[in-house]
Amino acid sequence: MSDERPRAVVFDLDGTLIDSLPDIVASFRAAFDDQGLPAPDAGAVRAQIGRPLEAMIAAFAPDRVAGVAAAYRRIYPERFLETTAPFPGATAVLETLRARGLRTVVATTKRTAMARELVAAVGLAPYLDHVQGTDDLPAKPAPDVVWAAAAAVGADATWMVGDTVHDLEAGRAAGVATYAVTWGTHDAATLRRAAPDVLEPDLGALPACVGDGRTGPDGGAW
């Protein structure tokens, strides 16, 4: 990692920066109803969040993926602000990191266009340097979207912040430190088994962990 390049903290979006899971689950279930299929149990849907949309649908209706995906992509933008909002303290954490000269970027399984529309709608756009969707990249737990998000702002990724095992595995594969929050998709026990560098109920401890982006969680250079 070059000392000349800026550092980036990479965030997942849903369940990490924004409390969006109820709207995702409701839209997902509505897409099944739209296609004349029984809506999956809400808890079962929530457990799938963090995977690519088509993989989520295949878990319930493997022979109807294309139709349900198209219905979801039509329905979700119509209702993604029914309850979705930034988690408490998220903007303050982003402001703190940016004030230290760190780049704040998003690496999400959503498509880039949809993610950027959502980020703007909930008021987070001014606090982020870049929003990177998976698009044609390999999905998490592959590290590609983490690297792409940091590269887009000419920075080296130093931390991956997320709420799922997929986020943590992607961060580890990308060679960065990992910070897990328990207010999203996966509970503390599930996240603990993935061995994040830091496990917290929210983002509050992140600025202290990250420092100025030049050290890892044990004080070593990243």
Indicate which residue of 3, 12, 197, 212 is catalytic.
12
Indicate which residue of 3, 14, 23, 218 is catalytic.
14
Decide if 156 is catalytic.
Answer: no
Amino acid letter for position 176: V
Residues contacting residue 194 through CB under 8 Å, at least 6 positions apart = 165, 168, 169, 180
Decide if 14 is catalytic.
Answer: yes
User: Per DSSP, what are the bridge partners of residue 106?
Assistant: 11, 131
Catalytic residue set: 12, 14
